[in-house]
Amino acid sequence: MVRKKTPGRPSKGADALSRKHIIAVAAPLLQQKGLEAVSFRRLAENLGVSAMAIKYHMGSQRELLFALVEHSFRDTLGTIKGKSPAERLRHVLSMYCTRALEHPNAVRCILNDASLMSQEIVEITEEIRKCTQLLNNGDPKDVMLNLLVDYTHGFVFSAVATGSDTCLTQEDYLRSIDWTLSLCRDRKISTPSSSRHY
């Protein structure tokens, strides 16, 4: 039986509720059912508390989404493997793609609102930037960085679009990354000249 919810301060029954518990319940809901499933009202129904109790612990809806993104990508980098910039780049992209495939709705949140990028996502981006700059003559204008990040997101959304019936695998992703890195090693990727405008 669900308790009757009243406006105002969280009820005494909500005392056991915590930010950590809310995130633990909200994270799988975001992944399985999308953004609508993590409204304060829907979360309150799932937890048997008032929407105000959720707000009390999480703050705003944006703060909840930021916490979910942070939770989804925490410790993605781990220890970066590889001696060469190409090896490190391949490793970082592989780790990010793996996590993004597990949490595509968290990626959608970031793409809808870039301010939801957690510190981990910023660090991943900076690591990719460092490697692309070493591989692509400084990678002026972040051409290679943007190409790899856009390709990764496109791959993730294509892979999850058909659910478990998808035929795209992590090996397919890495095969394309290896092809791109081989072009870079052969210096076939170049940045646009500074006189060109988009």
> Which two tokens mark 183?
């072009």
Task: Identify the pLDDT of residue 191.
Answer: 47
- pLDDT tens by residue, 65-116: 999 999 999 999 888 888 899 999 999 999 999 999 999 999 999 999 999 9
Q: Check if the beta carbon of residue 116 is closer than 8 Å to that of residue 69.
A: yes
Q: What is the pLDDT of residues 123-180, one digit of tens each?
A: 999 999 999 999 888 888 999 999 999 999 999 998 888 665 557 888 999 999 999 8
> How far is residue 38's CA from residue 129's CA, in Å, rounded to a whole number?
33
Distances in Å between the Cα of 52 and the Cα atoms of 23, 29, 46, 135, 183 are 16, 19, 14, 51, 54
Of the candidate ranges 6-10, 50-54, 154-158, the one whose mean pLDDT is the lowest: 6-10
pLDDT at res. 147: 93
The predicted pLDDT at position 182 comes to 87
